[in-house]
Structure 1
Amino acid sequence: MPTITKIYSMQEASQHNTKEDCWIVIDDKVYDVSSYMDEHPGGDDVILETVGKDATDGFEDAGHSDEAREMLQNFCIGELDTSSPVIPELEIYPKGTDSSQKLMALTKQYWAVPVVVAGISVIVGFLYLRKK
Structure 2
Amino acid sequence: MPTLTKLYTMQEASKHKTKDDCWVVIDGKIYDVSSYLDEHPGGDDVVLDATGRDATDDFEDAGHSKSARELMEKYFIGELETSSPAIPELEIYSNKQLNGYSQKLMHLTEQFWAIPVAVVGISVVVGFLYLQKK
TM-score (norm 1): 0.73
Aligned residues: 112
The code of the aligned residue for 1:87 comes to P
For 1:61 and 1:28, the matched residues in 2 are separated by 17
Q: Give the helix-richer structure, 1 or 2.
A: 2
* Matched letter for residue 59 of structure 1: F
Deviations 1:12-44 (A, max 9, x none): 111111111100000000000011000000000
Q: Is the 8 A contact 1:32 1:76 kept in 2?
A: yes
Partner of residue 26, structure 1:
26
Alignment of 1:42-57 (within 5 A): 42-57=42-57
Structure 1: which amino acid aligns with 2:107?
V
Kindly indicate whether residue 1 of structure 2 is the aligned counterpart of residue 9 of structure 1: no
Aligned residue type for 1:116: L
2:106 aligns to what SS in structure 1?
A: helix
Q: Structure 2, unaligned stretches of length 5 or more?
A: 118-134
Distance change in 2, residues 1:109/1:22 (3 Å): same
Q: What is the match of residue 100 of structure 1?
A: none
- Larger Cα Rg: Structure 1 or Structure 2? 2
2:110 equivalent among 99, 118, 126: 118
Identify which range, 109-118 or 15-24, moves more after superposition.
109-118
Across the aligned residues of Structure 1 and Structure 2, the Cα RMSD in angstroms comes to 2.6
Q: What does residue 120 of structure 2 align with?
A: none
The TM-score normalised by the length of structure 2 is 0.72
Instruction: Give the corresponding residue for 1:77.
Output: 77
Identity within the alignment, %: 54
Query: Are the counterparts in 2 of residues 24 and 32 from structure 1 also a CA contact under 8 Å?
Result: yes
